[in-house]
Chains A and B, each alone.
Chain A
Amino acid sequence: MTLRAAILLLLVLAGLFAASLLLPFAPLRALFEQDAGVAGLVLTELRLPRALLALVYGATLGASGAAIQALFANPLASPDLTGTTSGAALGAVVIAYLFGFAAPIALSIGSVAGALLALGLLLALAGPRAETATLLLAGLAISALAGALTTLALALAPSPFAFYEAYDWLMGSLVDRSLDQAAFAALPSLLVIVLLLRLGPALDRLALGEEVAQSLGHDVARLRLQIVCLTALGVGACVAICGAIGFIGLIAPIFARRLSRGHPGRAILPAAMIGALLLLAADLVVRLAPLGRTLPIGVLTALIGAPFFLWLVAHMRWRLRP
């Protein structure tokens, strides 16, 4: 990524972050004229955690997607398509079923465990260098299984209220999270992004082929384990707080690699920035759309991401294997 591209991305990110604090502006101004204290509370207690979560969750999805794509040597891999996100959601729903949604630590552990299980299962089923079709089919099977089990957990919900709460969370939402909750997602996620960045050079050399990477002194088995654990931790921590949000982890790395001249490892940083940018933008759209009520953000990313994915399957497959 060139310095100019980095600065441009940072400026857009800062702009979007400021916009998500200030927009919609009219109610905030009205509130400010009545009672500056309450307006301040709206900013720090409602809008700040929401903007922070969009930033962190988007960056985590982007960085994790880039790392997973580099690991599987496949631009169609991503946390949602490999079942990581739905595994995390299942883990969290099972924990919520047992302990309720008010136990963020248990929720996080549950969703990280679910994500780990899903990625581990995928590696076992499809292998580390799976063909696109095998990877997508295995990911689909794992997602379907996790989805079915999640639905089962919902169907067995003890009360309609518990059902609605879990359902609402599953749709993926950044609304009404506290600063504490935002920090709960942000701390592990930032750690994960930093550690993934450190693995970038090794992931770049993996682009020379697994054997060559090993002959250059990289422990590929350990690298694989590190990527699986780190992405599960990052995605799991975010899913536990905000529910499942799809397709950001697929799209961001694809744009990011245009900035890293195709290097899969060097794409992690731009992918994190683009992921944050996409989720902040999506949240602004959700917030400002004149629909009367707030759309779940996961629905919006899926509505835009799924057609993009279809286009990708049709146009990008041929470029994968020389």
Chain B
Amino acid sequence: MILQASNLSLPGRLFGVSIEIAEGELVCLVGPNGSGKTSLLHALAGIGRPAGQVAVAGVDPRGLGPALRPQALTYLPAARDLPWPLLARDLIALGGGGADLAALALGPLLDRRVDTLSTGERSRVLIARALAPRPRLLLLDEPTANLDPLWQIRLMELVRDELRGASRAALVAIHDLDAAARYADRILVMDQGRIAAEGLDGPHVAEIFGIERGESGWRQVSRPADPGSSR
């Protein structure tokens, strides 16, 4: 097991979540806004003093200092803004550095200041920051947001390639259910701060998201189900 976590709680946001991820697995985390995807990633990344047990490759990452932590796990937040205008190269190095990710085609971006990059370019730099230390566990919050369609595909395939045959795993929070279905080994559905179901087949999708499969993709459920009111 790469990740074994049990009874993770953050007051008011996450309620006793347990999760296990095996070597090489890419697990996608889906759920409506406010269902606790980001909170679970936070709890696993040690942000906000979560209660519960976490072990990454058998070690509690919260006991690791800044030198070792990026080898155990890295976290990509959903927000793409940065407090300081560093050079892209320096930003990646500050995150723990490591692998040269040719697949992200950063070459010409590396010597530019991150505030001069477009949002999509900056996303790629931030993704490189999270991937470069080659951590055991990748925690990615909406990694495909702001990326153009080609880069969305390239990115998910890059994450797949990174995990292939390695003693590594990834947990990816994502809103795009089709992308989740295409790339994930497993899909966990979150609702109200808990993992409510696994997979996208079954009545729970309509209950939790208020959508269902139609002939031309997802559509709103016709009966009056308002997922917002369940919050």
Tell me the A residues contacting B by CB distance below 8 Å: 70, 73, 129, 201-202, 204-212, 214-218, 261-264, 319-322
**Do A206 and B85 contact each other (CB < 8 Å), given the known contacts A215-B46, A215-B47?**
no
In the complex, the answer to whether A206 meets B47 with C-beta atoms within 8 Å is no
In the complex, the answer to whether A209 meets B79 with C-beta atoms within 8 Å is yes
27 cross-chain CB contacts under 8 A: A204-B94, A205-B66, A205-B94, A207-B94, A208-B129, A209-B82, A210-B83, A211-B42, A211-B75, A212-B75, A212-B129, A216-B95, A216-B96, A217-B64, A217-B66, A217-B68, A218-B66, A263-B86, A263-B90, A319-B115, A321-B81, A322-B81, A322-B82, A322-B85, A322-B115, A322-B117, A322-B122
Interfacial residues of chain B within 83-124, with CB under 8 A of chain A in the complex: 83-87, 90-91, 94-96, 113-117, 122
Interface residues on B, range: 35 or more
Interfacial residues of chain B within 40-61, with CB under 8 A of chain A in the complex: 42, 45-48, 61
In the complex, the answer to whether B84 meets A217 with C-beta atoms within 8 Å is no
Closest to A213 in B: B66
Q: How far is the CB of B195 from chain A (nearest CB, A)?
A: 21
In the complex, the answer to whether B69 meets A215 with C-beta atoms within 8 Å is yes
**Do A215 and B85 contact each other (CB < 8 Å), given the known contacts A204-B94, A208-B94, A322-B122?**
no
Task: Report if B199 contacts A (CB, 8 A).
Answer: no
- Please pick, from B42, B69, B83, the residue contacting A209 in the complex, using a CB distance under 8 A: B83
A210–B86 alpha-carbon span in the complex (Å): 15
In the complex, the answer to whether B95 meets A208 with C-beta atoms within 8 Å is yes
List the 4 closest A-B pairs by CB distance, nearest first: A73-B83, A322-B115, A215-B75, A215-B45
In the complex, the answer to whether B117 meets A209 with C-beta atoms within 8 Å is no
Tell me the B residues contacting A by CB distance below 8 Å: 42, 45-48, 61, 64-66, 68-70, 73-75, 77, 79, 81-87, 90-91, 94-96, 113-117, 122, 129, 139
A261–B114 alpha-carbon span in the complex (Å): 13
In the complex, the answer to whether A262 meets B87 with C-beta atoms within 8 Å is yes
**Do A262 and B86 contact each other (CB < 8 Å), given the known contacts A208-B94, A214-B45?**
yes
Closest to B65 in A: A217
In the complex, what residues of A have CB within 8 A of residue B85's CB? 262, 319-320, 322
Q: How far is the CB of B110 from chain A (nearest CB, A)?
A: 13
In the complex, the answer to whether A261 meets B87 with C-beta atoms within 8 Å is yes
Closest to B129 in A: A208
A73–B81 alpha-carbon span in the complex (Å): 12
Q: How far is the CB of A319 from chain B (nearest CB, A)?
A: 6
Quick one: which of B64, B77, B84, B115 has the most chain A CB within 10 A?
B84
Q: Is the interface of A mostly helix, strand, loop or mixed?
A: loop
A73–B86 alpha-carbon span in the complex (Å): 12
Q: How far is the CB of B112 from chain A (nearest CB, A)?
A: 11
Closest to B141 in A: A211
In the complex, the answer to whether A208 meets B81 with C-beta atoms within 8 Å is no
In the complex, what residues of A have CB within 8 A of residue B64's CB? 217
A262–B94 alpha-carbon span in the complex (Å): 12
In the complex, the answer to whether B75 meets A207 with C-beta atoms within 8 Å is no
A264–B80 alpha-carbon span in the complex (Å): 19
In the complex, what residues of B have CB within 8 A of residue A264's CB? 84
Quick one: which of A73, A208, A210, A321 has the most chain B CB within 10 A?
A208
In the complex, what residues of B have CB within 8 A of residue A322's CB? 81-82, 85, 114-117, 122
**Do A207 and B82 contact each other (CB < 8 Å), given the known contacts A214-B46, A216-B66, A217-B65?**
yes
Closest to B44 in A: A215
A321–B81 alpha-carbon span in the complex (Å): 7
In the complex, what residues of B have CB within 8 A of residue A210's CB? 83
Q: How far is the CB of B151 from chain A (nearest CB, A)?
A: 19
In the complex, what residues of B have CB within 8 A of residue A209's CB? 77, 79, 81-83
- Please pick, from B48, B66, B86, the residue contacting A202 in the complex, using a CB distance under 8 A: B66
Q: A212-B129, A262-B90, A322-B114 are in contact. List 8 more A-B contacts (CB 8 A).
A: A70-B84, A129-B83, A207-B83, A211-B45, A217-B64, A217-B68, A218-B66, A322-B117
Closest to A220 in B: B47
- Please pick, from A70, A129, A202, A211, the residue contacting B47 in the complex, using a CB distance under 8 A: A211
In the complex, the answer to whether B66 meets A262 with C-beta atoms within 8 Å is no
In the complex, the answer to whether A216 meets B117 with C-beta atoms within 8 Å is no
In the complex, the answer to whether A261 meets B117 with C-beta atoms within 8 Å is no
Closest to B117 in A: A322
A205–B96 alpha-carbon span in the complex (Å): 10
In the complex, the answer to whether B46 meets A217 with C-beta atoms within 8 Å is yes
Closest to B91 in A: A208
Quick one: which of A204, A214, A215, A264 has the most chain B CB within 10 A?
A215
In the complex, what residues of B have CB within 8 A of residue A212's CB? 75, 77, 95, 129
A206–B91 alpha-carbon span in the complex (Å): 11
**Do A207 and B86 contact each other (CB < 8 Å), given the known contacts A321-B81, A322-B117?**
yes
In the complex, what residues of A have CB within 8 A of residue B82's CB? 207-209, 322
